[in-house]
């Protein structure tokens, strides 16, 4: 029933796998029953725990018997220590790990966590620096069960088959994202590639020369590339159905854009002045919900009809909520309730159909940062803090904190859900919680 509802809501089938950032149809929702408590040290409700070298803030993805993860491993240099805390308190926080690295893609056995294979996609010095809340491997890979596509930042776009054989690679040049108005501050890319049928979509909004592009999944041949006047964005695009065509919706500082996946032609746009855009658009029914922008907590949440055309004006939106947007994490919709998490741990819920607030509650004491996006399964919402605590909240219109579970390592990556497993990527490990 859940799968059927989500299929109707997005127009796309919900996979039982977790094939990309936020899973099937980018819903952030699983269909199993992950545990609500666990103990990493004692191994309680821990299916497996595997150390992964290097630093990567990309999320794990799952297809059938394999889990895929990317990382960037420094070779003899100093690995950047992630900085945690609400974004207002962190500032620019530029990392200094500019020595030689290896960008790697790992495949793990879903049942045991055993490393099945690893491939070095690129070896060399990074082309850009990154923010200390980010890494040199922040973009989440994507798979359709045959191919695995990994965007290794400025080091290129790579496609492997699921057995680890390189199919193709593309040098996309320097992806130059950073502080607007100061080109010397490079925060690094984070937008993840998405697969739309036979194509891979890449969003690259940067200091100068922003673009959205589609590549043929089987060959890497560029199908189209659309240039646009935009500022840096770290948002992952969303693929949705609208009538008999597929659209890719991308959120950026100066606007929200919808393009036809086949042609790259812009179908509609909503102009904005958000300056910074990190969260990804999410689907709900016949709408797309868009968040993010600078300053944190000072930008609106927009509900935009998917069937819009040309220029969308704010007076024609179904609803909008002023000064409510999360700055970093992508929201979640479950059973008609919209869940947003601010950088300092304020959980806010709204009626997804109207924008009316349901409740607001604080997670933690306000000193921890929250970068990972919430996910949900089994009537629970799972929210990871940067300090490594995962809060489990009962889904619904009344706030009920079920448990708080420490990992004792930083968490920046959004967890993956696969059946009764929740797979969490910490600074140094990939950990599967639940029963295989």
pLDDT digits over 166-176, tens only? 999 999 999 99
Mean pLDDT in residue range 432-436: 92
Neighbour tally for 180: CB within 10 Å: 14
Q: Cis link prior to 295 (omega < 30° from 0)? A: yes
Separation between Cα atoms, residue 277 and residue 203, nearest integer Å: 12
Is the pLDDT at 94 greater than 90, yes or no? Answer: no
Q: How far apart are CA 176 and CA 182, in angstroms?
A: 11
Strand partners, 9: none
Indicate the average pLDDT of the chain.
Answer: 93
Cα 160–Cα 165–Cα 169 angle in degrees, nearest 5: 45
Query: Residue 9 above 50 pLDDT?
Result: no
79: pLDDT confidence band, cut at 50, 70 and 90? confident
Residue that wins the pLDDT comparison between 12 and 283: 283
| pLDDT interval class at 7 (50, 70, 90) | very low
CATH code that applies to domain 2-431: 2.130.10.10
Q: Using the predicted structure, report yes or no on whether residue 5 has a pLDDT greater than 70.
A: no
Sheet holding 429-433, edge to edge: 46-51, 429-433, 421-425, 416-418
Predicted confidence (pLDDT) per residue in 187-197, tens digit: 999 999 999 99
Q: How far apart are CA 73 and CA 106, in angstroms?
A: 12
Residue 200 above 80 pLDDT?
A: yes
Triad 379, 60, 429: Cα angle to 5° = 100
Mean pLDDT of 149-177: 97
**pLDDT attached to residue 92:** 80
pLDDT value at 4 more than 80? no
Give the residue, 48 or 5, on which the prediction is more confident.
48
Neighbours of 268 (CB within 10 A): 21
The percentage of residues in the chain with a pLDDT greater than 90, rounded to a whole number, is 86
Q: What are phi and psi of 126, to 5 degrees?
A: -60, 145
pLDDT higher than 50, residue 423 = yes
Dist CA 171 CA 88 (whole Å): 34
CA distance 325 to 330: 10
pLDDT tens per residue, range 351-401: 999 999 999 999 998 888 999 999 999 999 999 999 999 999 999 999 999
Alpha helices in 82-222 (DSSP H): 87-90
**Token reading at 383:** 């929210």
How many CB atoms are located within 10 Å of the residue 362 CB?
A: 12
DSSP label at residue 88 = H
Domain ranges of the chain: 2-431
CA 115 – CA 102 distance, rounded (Å): 17
Dihedral over alpha carbons 356, 360, 366, 372 (to 10 degrees):
-60
Residue 7 in 3-state DSSP?
Answer: helix
Contacts of 195 (CB under 8 A, 6+ apart): 19, 20, 142, 143, 144, 147, 149, 201, 217
The pair phi, psi for residue 200, each rounded to 5°, is -110, 130
pLDDT at 14: 44
Render pLDDT for 20-33 as a digit per residue (tens, 0 to 9): 999 999 999 999 99
For the cut 90, the answer to whether the pLDDT of residue 151 exceeds it is yes
pLDDT of residue 417: 97
**Per-residue pLDDT band at 2 (split at 50, 70, 90):** very low
281-301 tens-digit pLDDT: 999 999 999 999 988 888 999
Gap between the Cα atoms of 354 and 318, Å rounded: 7
pLDDT score recorded for residue 299: 94
Look at 125 and 80; give whichever has higher pLDDT.
Answer: 125
* Residue whose tokens read 């560029």: 222
The angle at the Cα of 361, spanning 305 to 424, to the nearest 5 degrees, equals: 80
């Amino acid at each position: 029933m859940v799968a059927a509802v989500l299929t109707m809501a997005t127009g796309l089938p919900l996979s039982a796998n977790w094939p990309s950032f936020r899973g099937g149809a980018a819903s952030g929702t699983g269909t199993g029953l992950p545990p609500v408590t666990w103990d990493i040290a004692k191994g309680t409700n821990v299916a497996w725990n595997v150390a992964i070298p290097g630093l990567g803030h990309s999320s794990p993805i799952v297809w059938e018997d394999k889990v895929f993860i990317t990382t960037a491993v420094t070779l003899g240099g100093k690995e950047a220590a992630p900085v945690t805390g609400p974004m207002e308190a962190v500032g620019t926080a530029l990392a200094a790990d500019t020595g030689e690295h290896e960008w790697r893609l790992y495949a793990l056995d879903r049942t045991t966590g055993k490393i099945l294979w690893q491939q070095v996609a690129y070896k060399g010095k990074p082309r850009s620096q990154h923010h200390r809340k980010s890494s040199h491997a922040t973009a989440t890979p994507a798979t359709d069960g045959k191919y695995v596509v990994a965007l290794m930042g400025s080091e290129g776009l790579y496609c492997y088959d699921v057995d680890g054989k390189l199919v193709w690679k593309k040098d996309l040049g320097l992806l130059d994202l950073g502080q607007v108005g100061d080109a010397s501050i490079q925060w690094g890319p984070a937008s993840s590639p998405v697969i739309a049928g036979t194509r891979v979509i890449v969003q690259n909004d940067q200091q100068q020369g922003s673009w959205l592009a589609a590549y043929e999944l089987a060959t890497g041949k560029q199908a189209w590339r659309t240039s646009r006047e935009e500022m840096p964005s770290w948002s992952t695009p969303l693929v949705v159905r609208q009538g008999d065509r597929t659209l890719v919706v991308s959120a950026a500082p100066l606007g929200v854009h919808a393009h036809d996946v086949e042609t790259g032609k812009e179908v509609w746009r909503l102009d904005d002045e958000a300056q910074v855009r990190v969260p990804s658009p999410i689907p709900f029914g016949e709408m797309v919900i868009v968040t993010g922008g600078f300053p944190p907590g000072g930008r609106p949440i927009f509900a935009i009809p998917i069937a819009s055309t040309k220029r969308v004006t704010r007076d024609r939106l179904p609803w909008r909520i002023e000064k409510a947007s999360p700055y970093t994490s992508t929201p979640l919709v479950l059973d008609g309730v919209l869940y947003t998490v601010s950088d300092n741990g304020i959980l806010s819920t709204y009626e997804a159909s109207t924008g009316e607030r349901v409740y607001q509650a604080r997670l933690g004491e306000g000193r921890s940062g929250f970068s990972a996006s919430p996910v949900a399964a089994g009537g629970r919402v799972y929210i990871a803090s940067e300090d490594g605590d995962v809060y489990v909240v009962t889904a619904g219109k009344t706030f009920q904190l079920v448990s708080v579970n420490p990992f004792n390592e930083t968490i920046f990556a959004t967890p993956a859900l696969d059946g009764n497993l929740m797979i969490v990527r910490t600074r140094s490990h990939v950990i599967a919680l639940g029963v295989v």
